[in-house]
Structure 1
Amino acid sequence: MVKWVRFCRTKLSGYLVVLFTCFSVINVYATETKEVNLSPLFIQLSDIMGEVKENNVQQAKIQLTDLAQNFTQFPQHTSVAGNAVSQAIEQAQTDLNQFSLTRISSALLAFEKEQHPIDVQAQKHQFEKRVLPAFVLLRQRIAEGNLEQIKVQYRIFNTIWVQNERTVRDVSLSYYGEIETAMALLRISIETTPVDFVKIDRKAQILDDLFQAYLSGQKAQIKVVGDYNLSDGITLLEEGLTAFKQGNINLGQEKLTHFIQIWPIIEGQVSTRNPSLYTQLESQIPIIVAQGKDLKQQQALQRLIGSLNQINPHQAYTMLDAMLILLREGLEALLVVMALVSALRVANRPQGYKWVTGGVVTGLMASILVAFALHTFFPSISSGANREVIEGIVGIIAVVMILTIGVWLHSKSSIQSWNAYLKQHMGKALTTGGFISLFSLSFLAVFREGAETILFYVGILPNISLTDFSLGIGAAILILLLLSLVMIKTSVKLPVPTMFRLLTWLLYILGFKILGVSVHSLQLIGYLPLKIIDSLPTIEWIGFYATTQTVFAQILYLAAIILLQRYMQLQEKRA
């Protein structure tokens, strides 16, 4: 019996070793052959090109750093083609322009081909076997001249093409773009009334020629060049819609045809964010081109434009937003500091001025150090989608802070409350610890507001141009300087309660915008669902996006404001 147990134990151990070895080999093989998905990098690169095109160079550099970090996450990034990508990124970081970014795109394509070697002949064979038979049937239907049968067969052919388009796209992006454009133009000719079978046949022949050229290995002729992004496509659709509404059908068709021509360049920005919308655009745009004078088609185009605006990443805050944040936070610190200065003047203790000044300067320096640390470490701890998650969450936190700040401001909007607030701080500084208290209070007033300001700016910096950001800060500083001069000379006459009341409502408006942009940014990366409300418009400058989730969040926000205002009014009556 003992021998039998030993025999079984020996055999079992041997089997376990063999199984472990097999699983280890399989695991290593799976790790080494894991598919490299570069789609997120291409989307990020497209966003960088958009920032450069809009002269947001600083933001483009931050995103380029993120792209470089994301690329190094691939275990294969040190391959021959991977090193070429790294070199292209380094050159772009030194000389950032559209040309250097295009070199990164080319290097990424080469890296993708290196990691996924393509059997060109096998791909062409699959195309010839799966796609061409449906196209041959389509040409037969065109020759027969039965429009309904042509439409039915085109839909069948298009479905088969969508299922097998990688057999062309993976081999030649140029041919893929030309075929997509030719198919859209063929669809337009089919949907145009009155029907012109000669024109339909001519468009089908163009597509046939492209298929034969691709299969024979001829070099594709690149007809559309340039750096296009989703915003360019939306602009073309908007211009086309305007032309259709004005009765200029030819111009409308020209604009939408141009959109079709650049579609292969920008389609990745749509398909990865909203696959359903991608399908709608490919199927509906050709029909709209053919029937653009029809009101229903114009309405369909309007809905498509609205849906595209929902997923367009290039949304921005303005100079006014940047100014309002610093103005509000700076004013609170300024009021505390000026209260201390006034108290020192009344008490005839000028030696305390330097302590107040020291606290202010130290608070400013500490705020600047925090800002630099944030600027240095924030890009490294958050990249790609993670950055947008942090932006969205920080934005929502900022909105909660705005509600609490609004309550504080409201409580200071009466003369009695404001006078009580001043007496509290002056008494604390002048009677509990002398000049050290003056230094501490002025430091904390400035640093606390500086920290809040930085938190607000974290949420908006990625979505505001450097020019608007700088102008907003400059304008806020200028206004604060003017206010400080007025307060020094005529502190009694300054309408502080009115200023607080005005700032309260301006802050609430800013909070409405930040909430909308933050929720929408989380929708774009899939952290929140996105359900579009077709009957509502998108108003970007106020942060209103026509989705169920953003509208619901903003309704809750407005309800919270109303309840807080009501609560403060009841508190004042009881007092």
Structure 2
Amino acid sequence: MNRIFHFFFPLTLLLAISTAGRADTSDRLVQLIDYVGVDYSEAVSEGTIVNQGEYAEMVEFTAIIETSVASIAGSPIASELLQQARELGHLIKNKAPAGEVRALAHTMRTTIIHLYDLKVAPDQAPDLLQGQALYQETCATCHGAYGNGNGELGKDLDPQPTDFTEVARFRQRSLYALFNTITYGVEGTGMSDYSQLSTVDRWNLAAYVGSIGVDKEVAANGKRTWQQFNGNDTIVDVKAYAGLSPDEAANKWTKGYALMAYLRTEPEVLFDFKTPPLTVAMNSLQTSLKAYEQGETEKAYEFALTAYLEGFELVEANLAALDTRLMRDIESEMLLLRNDIGTKSPLKSVAARIQKLQLLLQQAQSKMADKGGLTPTAAFVTSFIILLREGLEAILVVVALSAFLLKTDRRDAMPYLHAGWIAALILGLLTWVASERFVQISGATREVTEGVAALVASGMLLFVGYWLHSKTSASGWQAFIQKSLKAALNKRTLWGLAGLSFISVYREVFETILFYQALWAQAASSSADWVTGGFLVAALLLVLLAALIIRFSVKIPLRHFFASTGILLLILSFIFAGKGIAALQAAGEIQQTMLQFEAVEWLGIFPSQEGLLIQATILLASAVFLSRGFFARRQKE
């Protein structure tokens, strides 16, 4: 048991740490690419070097970009990115037109943001007045009081401080690029980093700097366009507001440049505009269809995923309380749609599937709107089901391990087990806080996290289940167990139990919090107390269930206890494996070969050939374990 823990648990920690490290490195990489894309025009004009210092900097930065990209592990996207980095260096070397360099830099930036799921937008509306105060305090001495690059301390700098009033530069810089520059500075220039500022202050400062070059007349036109928005046209969202330059917005939307100018001056209107999840789903499906019509299969699949992960999934628990059948139909149709796109089905078939989904989503929207928020009864039932469903599997693992320790008189090991699930609760809450304030966790990232954790837990449960059941067939089994427990449950193994407790609980915590966030958003003010009531009743039921299992399990004869606990853990391994594969498939990380039957979610059985193959392997391995134990006991008897 300790060997499997010492393989998987450090791997999980390393993945978490390396993900955070890669996000920081990738932000820096995006910053360099943005810098090259914008400032290259200052170095080369019409194939001629006009500023030797700037050009040398471009050559240096593209070399750093290529080296950084080459260090990325070899996924298809990373390989494509490396080709783009080499092409960027080639363009710089050959003094290509600035437009070509800028276009390639934009493509690379988009690729990196997608590859690492980078956070490109603030969590709240930037405060431009606070940003202005920070600017006067930290930036005006170099960039000038009005942002035109003529500050007293900037006169002797080479290169000169940026003139933020310059229209061409304003059109080419995104707020995300400005945020990265403020965070990391620019090596070899007078621009030092301001990472000591809080994330909120850096976004405030970036937003103010990004508003300096706005033409007031253009912004006024953008305001009129915004006010005419009727809910049917594509609109700038928070990610686009921060992640796109005004020129890129102009290419993406009609009147996009004017809209971006307006939002740079009044960002609070964008953050007040919260698109309902079902609207997100319907809009994403429409975009998916357009992409499929144009032959962009990967893009169509991505938007179909978004429709589920960032749209429907956020309200499916709430809809289930109103109409379970409708919720199941939508979930099933979205799964079939992704399969149709993945297998490149005829356009007519995909279009019909999306049309059917749009009608189902409109029905769901109508049902939820008719309620004006969840009724008290629906709020209570939904809250109750969420916690009971998400908590039951984790409780079973922890309780089975607790009963095992009590049954074998190893109460000294209980603190390790409790430390595991308590740490999972604390880390789950910290993960939620971090996702709200610091790191953007997308639906795909949530599914990948849940899927990986479920598969790791499944492997550990399979091993522990086999380990427990194997003891029932040992010669002189009771004496062997009592003797081996003292030897086997050493410090490393105890930490293995803590690790299993941790990972079994942690995989449920963040998803539970996510569902409750969506539930609070849907519940009417009169239903808020009922949400709390449903949570408390479910929590009480889980505690009662845990107490009953422990109480009755300690009365079971030792050999039968080991056998039944081993079987329970093997069943949980089967369930976790199915749910882990389904989560990774929902995130689009692994292939999904659809089968024609309805999912049995409580058993982790989904209409997926890949998931059933893994589960069949677990069933076969379990059958071998159990049969070997049975025949061994028969021989000894």
Range into which the TM-score falls when normalised by the shorter chain: 0.3 to 0.5
Q: TM-score, normalised by structure 2?
A: 0.41
Q: TM-score, normalised by structure 1?
A: 0.44
